[in-house]
Amino acid sequence: MKKFGFMAVLLFVFILAFPHNGQAAAGSAKIFLDDKQLSLSGNAKVENVNGNIMIPFRVVGENLGFDVAWEQKTRTVTIKKDSKVIKLVVNQKTADVNGTKVSLNIAPILRTDTVIVPIRFVSEQMGLKVNWDNIKKIVYLYTQEIETGNGDAGTGAGNGGEATPGTGSGNGGSNTGSTSAAQVNGISFSDNRLMIATNGQAKVNAFKMSGPDRIVIDLENAKFSDSFSSSNSPLDQNSMGSLDISGYPDVSQVRYSLYNNNPSTVRVVVDLNYAKNYKLTNENGLYIVDLNTSDSGTPSKPIGGSGKKIVVIDAGHGAHDPGTTGVTGKKEKDFNLAIVLKVEKLLKQEPNIDVVLTRSDDTFLELKDRVKIANDLKADVFVSIHANSAGSSAASGSETYYQRDASKAFANVMHKYLVQATGLSDRGVRYGNFHVIRETKMPAVLLEVGYLSNKKDEATLFTESVQQRVAQGVVNGIKEYLGVQ
């Protein structure tokens, strides 16, 4: 009993010595202002208080050139810059902004030598755009310093225009907005080009920013489509996501988010490794940010330039749509992407061919958007890669599908190389009424490389050497049909 009493007293003292306000362990979180990390000295840190992300106001204010003063007696923080005066009182949920009372979701909190405030207040009163990355625990604050870019959506060249600060908080939130908002259906990066597939009417504003270098594309009056946001984690709970980019010296990452709620705005950011010009084109809602440009902004490598053939390769399914699942649990979408990436690598070695992928990672595009990419680029051929499944585990072999008579000759050539590459039984060239080969305007085929419902086929398809042979076979078939040496 004495031991129990001593422990109870010790616990009571511990609670008194370390009070809390329901905050989560967010002390290791970081703050970036225009992508530059701010130094959090002393006891200043980011905190999650009852679901509200709170940041030390002095750190942000002083880095923005605000005059920040603290009055101990009234426990008031006064922030001044130009004609704007903001007063915050600890533990009061009302702030004074130029004499006007403004409500806060949560009152400012005094933490030893700093006052923390909710990031929503920062965005609304200091003219900043704010994003919170809940996975990496990073607060991103952005001013609107704009560097002239080559990206007018109307002409595809010239100045990027000005970015207009939104009125919303910009810190994620629900995917709300006008019912007539444009839908962002897919985002992909291939051949040093960013592609954003949309439908509906969006106001597009592109510009460059420095420190670090990046290209920003804002699609105002736009939101992520249901198919995008329900896919296999392209968006986190704050409506943010990213593409990991490798193999491209210009780009380190592509980020995207529901940047504003009013008006609903989707922002896509291309993080550059150094300053780079670009060209933005709009082909009926397919926005292409082309980094293959010279310093003057002139495309140095236009798609299909110098008489090159344009080849679009489509990895079927993706993200929340896995396609079929094999006997041992392997997913069709992973096989399709593995083949497509190998095909891309091989085609990039062909000087007379330009290759474009509909997806280069585990993202999802609607069938109509895959078609749109090929049609808008006026591709010479279109190839969709798939793996098959059947009710019987005995089904095995390779098939090639066409839908239009104009595609039959292409299908015959592609099938010859496909069967040679897989070594599986030849199930022939067949008619198939599939959307991607029906609605495309160029010769188009859909390859069913093998059956994942067959244990032997599945093991074969997920062999590295077989995948490489299939990729080479796809390239050989394309070259023969196009007459490319």
Token pair 């990895």 in the structure block, residue: 315
Query: Taken in order 434, 435, 440, 441, is the CA torsion positive or negative?
Result: positive
Pair (344, 295) in one structural domain: no
Separation between Cα atoms, residue 45 and residue 180, nearest integer Å: 41
Identify the CATH number of the domain in which residue 35 sits: 3.30.457.10
Residue type for position 466:
V
pLDDT at 398 over 80: yes
Tokens of 43: 């006891």
Examine residue 15 and state whether it is found in any structural domain, yes or no.
no
pLDDT score for 293: 73
Identify the CATH number of the domain in which residue 310 sits: 3.40.630.40
Calculate mean pLDDT across residues 136-155: 53
Separation between Cα atoms, residue 480 and residue 311, nearest integer Å: 13
Pair (256, 215) in one structural domain: yes
Number of other residues whose CB lies within 10 A of the CB of residue 376: 17
Burial class (CB in 10 A: 0-12, 13-18, 19+), 139: buried
* Residues 236 and 249: beta-carbon distance below 8 Å: no
Tokens of 223: 């939101």
Pair (319, 258) in one structural domain: no
pLDDT score for 101: 85
Pair (424, 476) in one structural domain: yes
Catalytic residues: 448
Examine residue 10 and state whether it is found in any structural domain, yes or no.
no
Domain that holds residue 58: 23-142
Pair (123, 248) in one structural domain: no
Q: How many domains does the chain have?
A: 3
Examine residue 28 and state whether it is found in any structural domain, yes or no.
yes
Examine residue 6 and state whether it is found in any structural domain, yes or no.
no
Examine residue 13 and state whether it is found in any structural domain, yes or no.
no
Calculate mean pLDDT across residues 32-61: 75
Nearest Cα residue to 383 out of 441, 314, 439:
314
Calculate mean pLDDT across residues 26-50: 72
- Where does a domain end: 284, 299, 314? 299
Separation between Cα atoms, residue 282 and residue 276, nearest integer Å: 20
Pair (58, 171) in one structural domain: no
Pair (242, 360) in one structural domain: no
* Better-predicted residue by pLDDT, 165 or 107: 107
Tell me the HSE value of 125 on the side-chain side, using a 13 A CA sphere.
Answer: 28
Calculate mean pLDDT across residues 31-55: 75
pLDDT score for 389: 92
- Where does a domain end: 86, 113, 142? 142
pLDDT digits (tens, 9 = 90+) for 296-343: 444 445 677 778 999 999 999 987 888 999 999 999 999 999 999 999
Pair (159, 290) in one structural domain: yes
Pair (123, 45) in one structural domain: yes
pLDDT score for 9: 41
Examine residue 349 and state whether it is found in any structural domain, yes or no.
yes
- Where does a domain end: 299, 334, 351? 299
Pair (224, 251) in one structural domain: yes
Query: Taken in order 423, 429, 431, 433, is the CA torsion positive or negative?
Result: positive
Examine residue 184 and state whether it is found in any structural domain, yes or no.
yes
Pair (211, 111) in one structural domain: no
Examine residue 129 and state whether it is found in any structural domain, yes or no.
yes
pLDDT digits (tens, 9 = 90+) for 5-21: 444 443 333 333 333 44
Cα distances (angstroms) measured from residue 83 to each of 80, 98, 235 = 7, 8, 39
Across the chain, mean pLDDT equals 79
Cis peptide before 56 (omega within 30 of 0): no
Longest dimension (CA), the chain: 92
pLDDT at 137 over 80: no
Token pair 């915050």 in the structure block, residue: 88
Nearest Cα residue to 138 out of 45, 62, 58:
45
Least confident interval from 118-127, 137-146, 196-205, 432-441? 137-146
Separation between Cα atoms, residue 248 and residue 484, nearest integer Å: 26
Pair (150, 295) in one structural domain: yes
pLDDT score for 123: 62
Whole-model pTM?
0.52
pLDDT score for 18: 35
Q: Give 462's pLDDT tier (boundaries 50, 70, 90).
A: very high
Least confident interval from 159-168, 192-201, 346-355, 398-407? 159-168
Identify the CATH number of the domain in which residue 249 sits: 2.60.40.3500
Tokens of 102: 């403004």
Separation between Cα atoms, residue 467 and residue 415, nearest integer Å: 15
